[in-house]
Structure 1
Amino acid sequence: MHNDVTATGHAARIATVDALLPAPLPFRVHGDDILLTAEAGETTAAGLATCTEVGPDSPQSIWRARVEHRLEVQLAGPDPAAGLDALLTRWDEHLHSLAQVGDAECAAVLSRPSRDTAGTTELLRHGFAPVGVIAVRPAARMAAPGPATTPGVCIRHATPDDLGTAMRLMLELQRYDAQFGKVTVRPGIEELLEKELLRQLERPEPQLWIAELYGRPLGMVLLQLPDETGWIGHRVAASRIGYLSSLAVSEAARSAGVGSALAAHAHQVFDEAGADVVLLHTAVANPRSTPFWYAQGYRPLWTGWQRRPAAR
């Protein structure tokens, strides 16, 4: 089975699923990467299996298991669900040669286009759960200038004096999000977050914003403008991409309009920077952030599936 043939069929199928998906290319194997293939009747499947590991003191360790086995998937033919089922079986065999059964710091992860629902039942049967989403919001270039104001809410650039406030809000957010499988609260998380926030605050024009409700700092939003988002640019068919890194609102200010004011301000900043789309990550099971972001004009673009431990 030739990988280029599968890639061509996969690209043709994906083009009909979502106009914001980038055109996929044939897999190219580098280093320790492994190309897995499978067939189910006239359907072919190809998967690029990779593995990465981070140390416990890495900022990335907050957002993932320390060892991640990833699979990129391409499916071509009349029965993509059967093709994915055969490929997942093949990947399971591969993982059992690498991963220790029951190791909670080792995860199997794959992303699927959210609107490409073929194979969902097969993923569940293989023990995967939908954990996170990359959501997308196309720019509203013709929107009225400036967001609507929220009574009592003032949004301003963060300064180094806001470090304590930003730390408190980020820790509250991380501990809440840890319930949903996307975040791991590790020993030393305070030091990791402080280092990242200081890096942001020491920039000449930090894209960290504080929301005050009647003078009390109760919310924050952290942005990446299009010149910083090359790391995620391959996920969307757009030239200029904004990324909304974090939005946190204190429990004391929930349902007071602080989050909506921060989101509107962020979108104004992205529009002024000429972003074609804005991306963000959200946890599928989070009962607060998921409906909030969809109400702000976002929709799922990629769904991240995870099995942790990787080997059962």
Structure 2
Amino acid sequence: MNTDAIATEHAARLSAADSLLPLSEPLDNTGEDTVLEVRKDDSGAIGLATRSEIAADFSDSLWRALIEHRLTLRLAGPQPGEVLGDLLALWNSHLAEVAAPGDWDTAAVVVRPSRDPAGSAELLRHGFAPVRVLAVRPADRLAAPGPAAEPGVRIRPAGQDDIDTAVRLHTELLRYDADFGGVSPRETAAELLAADVGKELTRTNPTLWIAELYGGPLGLLQIQLPPESDWARRYVRAERVGYLSTLHVAEAARSSGVGSALAAHAHQLFDEAGTDVVLLHHALANPRSTPFWCAQGYRPLWTYWQRRPAVPAASL
């Protein structure tokens, strides 16, 4: 099975598994990346091993390891799991040469289509865990216009006086999600979050919203609309894509309807902008996020399998 045949079969299988997955394109090798290949009988696997690094003084460092190694896959044949296992073994050998053992600020990540579970058992055997998902919600064009009102809940655009509140709510979310392995609280988190919030508040059209429950600011919503959210189009087969960056409700307001009101408000904004789908990331093991987003009409599109550190510390 040659490279073109693997890519063609991989694309056909994903299209059959999920109509919202984007069309699979050839692996984009910059020349600095490493291509790994496995062939066994009528099955084959190709992986592109890449490395990215970010400085700790960038806000994106709060949501990932500073050094991230990724393996982008193409699988084909009747034994996709078996060839993926062999490919992971090759990748492990490569990582052992380029990553420091036991360094918590390194991560190995494999992003798999959620409805194509081939190789999941092999990922588990190699120490990976499904840490988060990129979830999708198609636009509901038949829904009643406007969200239903929740008693005592008021949603308004954030203002300059809300910086401390927004940073507090962002920090609460960051600390809570840290238990599930997908984020990285850092000593400078408050400063980084405050800088980001300040930038959001300079926009002409609001993208940051505060939910008040009987006058108390207890909920936060942040969104991206096209064209700013066009970066997300590569993950889904849709033209106009919205991205829901953050939705968090303080502990004191849980089960009060604030979260549902914020989600309904976001969906109204996305509908007014004419988006075809909305995407968001959430921690898969979070016992609050997963059922909440399912109830709001989202379902997994991509699953992020992660091993952190990328190379485990040597056993004594």
Q: Specify the TM-score bucket, using the shorter chain as the normaliser.
A: over 0.9
Is 1:184 matched up with 2:197? Answer: no
Is 1:131 matched up with 2:131? Answer: yes
After superposition, the C-alpha distances for 1:24-71 in whole angstroms (9 at most, x for unaligned) are: 111131031111111232101011110011111111110111110001
> Equivalent residue for 1:115?
115
Percent of pairs identical after alignment? 59
Tell me, in whole angstroms, the C-alpha distance in 2 between the residues paired with 1:119 and 1:279.
25
> Equivalent residue for 2:261?
261
> Equivalent residue for 1:298?
298
Is 1:141 matched up with 2:114? Answer: no
How far the C-alpha of 1:311 sits from its partner, in A, is 1.3
Alignment of 1:212-227 (within 5 A): 212-227=212-227
After superposition, the C-alpha distances for 1:68-124 in whole angstroms (9 at most, x for unaligned) are: 000100101111111211111111111111111111111100100001111111000
Is 1:243 matched up with 2:243? Answer: yes
After superposition, the C-alpha distances for 1:266-300 in whole angstroms (9 at most, x for unaligned) are: 00000000010000000011001110000000000
> Equivalent residue for 2:229?
229
Tell me, in whole angstroms, the C-alpha distance in 1 between the residues paired with 2:150 and 2:28.
50
Q: Which has the higher mean CA deviation after the structures are superposed, 95-104 or 252-261?
A: 95-104
Tell me, in whole angstroms, the C-alpha distance in 1 between the residues paired with 2:213 and 2:177.
23
Tell me, in whole angstroms, the C-alpha distance in 2 between the residues paired with 1:148 and 1:270.
16
* Aligned 8 A contact 1:56 1:66 in 2: yes
- Give the SS at the match of 2:252: helix
Alignment of 1:149-160 (within 5 A): 149-160=149-160
> Equivalent residue for 1:75?
75
> Equivalent residue for 2:270?
270
Backbone CA RMSD of aligned residues: 1.0
Tell me, in whole angstroms, the C-alpha distance in 1 between the residues paired with 2:103 and 2:150.
47
- Give the SS at the match of 1:230: helix
> Equivalent residue for 2:307?
307
* Aligned 8 A contact 2:230 2:240 in 1: no
Tell me, in whole angstroms, the C-alpha distance in 1 between the residues paired with 2:259 and 2:107.
32
Alignment of 1:202-213 (within 5 A): 202-213=202-213
- Give the SS at the match of 2:210: strand
Is 1:199 matched up with 2:230? Answer: no
**Aligned residue type for 1:132:** R
Equivalent pairs counted in the alignment come to 312
* Aligned 8 A contact 2:22 2:237 in 1: yes
Alignment gaps of 5+ in structure 1: none
Tell me, in whole angstroms, the C-alpha distance in 2 between the residues paired with 1:145 and 1:16.
33
- Give the SS at the match of 2:144: coil
Question: TM-score, normalization: structure 1?
Answer: 0.98
Tell me, in whole angstroms, the C-alpha distance in 1 between the residues paired with 2:29 and 2:263.
40
* Aligned 8 A contact 1:39 1:86 in 2: no
Tell me, in whole angstroms, the C-alpha distance in 2 between the residues paired with 1:184 and 1:108.
15
Tell me, in whole angstroms, the C-alpha distance in 1 between the residues paired with 2:79 and 2:2.
18
Q: Which has the higher mean CA deviation after the structures are superposed, 226-235 or 123-132?
A: 226-235
**Aligned residue type for 1:280:** L
Is 1:98 matched up with 2:98? Answer: yes
Tell me, in whole angstroms, the C-alpha distance in 1 between the residues paired with 2:261 and 2:277.
19
